[in-house]
Amino acid sequence: MTSSLGRAAGPRSARIQASPQFNGRTFANTYPVSIGFKDGVERPSLREFLCGGERRIPSGTIPIVKPVARWAAPPETGLRVTRLGHSTLLIEIDGVRILTDPVWSTRVSPLAFAGPKRFHPVPAPLAALPPLDVVLVSHDHYDHLDRQTIRALARAGVPFVTSLGVGAIIESWGVPPETVIELDWWERTEVNGVTITATPSQHFSGRGIKDRNSTLWSAMHLQGDRHSFFFGADSGLTPEFKEIGRRLGPFDVVALEIGAYHPSWGDIHLGPEHALVARGMLGSGAVLPIHWGTFNLAIHPWDEPAETIVRLAPDAQVQLLLPRFGEAIEPARVEGIVPWWRGIAAGRAPGNDDEGLARRALEWLPD
């Protein structure tokens, strides 16, 4: 697999080389991170992933709301969000429609026939989306950057805003270069009156074993005339959340990852407890939990992230937004939560008899 450093040329390559986050070989986090062994906790083994585990997947039906009719009318409050999947959101903010980390494929894997498989259908086909102003891509992991989906969106001519280095990947898939804007941390661009700022996150990148950290990873902030939305993408707990809050707050909504976590990944994924700590550092905003409920990417029960954050949120004095997939909500009008995930039967994640296939499908996970 060719890294984006190899793909990037001319001005794109020069920008990578000049980035404060680039150390001459790869991109790096601001603070040192531990991946694989942390606080005396060993990382999960390949066998734990392959052999499944109790309650890893829902065996019952996840409720889906069809949002297309709601999208036909603009949000009355000026801010509406529809969770379509893992970290895929349709954000309607002050007249601008923004799609984040779009993934419509059945699996998030380099292989079409192996790797984490979707728990539920996407609430709406790509063709049913309303006209988009921009697509945001936070980083290059398979559960955030899906080639099939990007190719379909490229045919629609929608512009893209992404992290430094990722542009070379999506351009190789057919996205016209003139429609791609790459951002380094704290750089910004404007789309139809909404300012998009790439902010630090504490994570990593790579779509295989040979391109680790060859592209940048970012969170994204959206600032319209009236509303402010922070899309946290993937990040571990970092002091940079305080700086983000200081520079860009206050926020109406902060979308923070709560799923696919493990104690040994504490530096590069939040999980529900750290998500609430991050919200405290950001200083404002209702919390929209993302990165859970669509794919089996860790060894915890599928519904554990939601149950944990619901239990802890009252003490943290945080408002939660936990809509059903496809439910278009206006955060200012949400009163309480409906725990839709309760009562859904859960089962054991199926094993994979071909360890070689599964190993290749899991190459992008933390090592």
Residue 117, domain CATH: 3.60.15.10
pLDDT at position 355 is 39
Pure H helices in 253-365: 271-282, 304-316, 355-361
CB contact burial 24-33 (16+ within 10 A = b; e otherwise): eebbbbeeeb
Report the mean per-residue pLDDT for the chain. 89
pLDDT at position 5 is 54
pLDDT band at 39; cut points 50, 70, 90: low
Mean pLDDT on 133-142: 97
| 3-state SS class at 355 | helix
pLDDT at position 98 is 98
Residue 45 covered by a domain: no
Residue 29 covered by a domain: no
Q: Which residue has the tokens 């990382």?
A: 43
pLDDT band at 36; cut points 50, 70, 90: low
Tell how strand 96-100 and strand 89-93 pair up. Answer: antiparallel
Residue 367 covered by a domain: no
CA torsion 143-148-154-159 (nearest 10°) is: -10
In this structure, what DSSP letter does residue 27 have? B
Residue type present at position 260: A
Whole-angstrom CA distances from 266 to 38, 39, 66, 116 are: 7, 9, 35, 21
pLDDT band at 29; cut points 50, 70, 90: very high
Q: Is the pLDDT of residue 349 over 70?
A: no
CB atoms within 10 A of CB 23: 10
Mean pLDDT on 121-132: 97
Mean pLDDT on 352-359: 39
pLDDT at position 319 is 97
Taking the C-alpha atoms of residue 15 and residue 309, their distance in angstroms, rounded to an integer, is 39
State what percent of residues in the chain have pLDDT above 90: 74
pLDDT at position 52 is 56
Q: Is the pLDDT of residue 57 over 60?
A: yes
Print the domain residue range for 271. 51-361
Whether the CB-CB separation of 168 and 8 falls below 8 Å is answered with yes
Taking the C-alpha atoms of residue 138 and residue 234, their distance in angstroms, rounded to an integer, is 8
pLDDT at position 295 is 93
Residue 145 covered by a domain: yes
Q: Is the pLDDT of residue 74 over 90?
A: yes
Residue 14 covered by a domain: no
pLDDT band at 72; cut points 50, 70, 90: very high
Number of domains within the chain: 1
CB contact burial 296-335 (16+ within 10 A = b; e otherwise): bbbbbebbbbbebbbebbeebebbbbbbbbbbbbebeeee
pLDDT band at 118; cut points 50, 70, 90: very high
Residue 36 covered by a domain: no
More confident position, 344 or 245: 245
pLDDT at position 293 is 96
- For the beta sheet containing 180-183, the strands, ordered from the edge strand earlier in sequence to the opposite edge, are 180-183, 160-163, 134-137, 96-100, 89-93, 79-83, 328-329
Residue 27 covered by a domain: no
Residue 269 covered by a domain: yes
Q: HSE of 361 in the Cβ direction (CA atoms, 13 Å)?
A: 21
pLDDT at position 114 is 77
Residue type present at position 109: S
pLDDT in tens, 258-298: 998 877 777 899 999 999 999 999 999 999 999 999 999 88
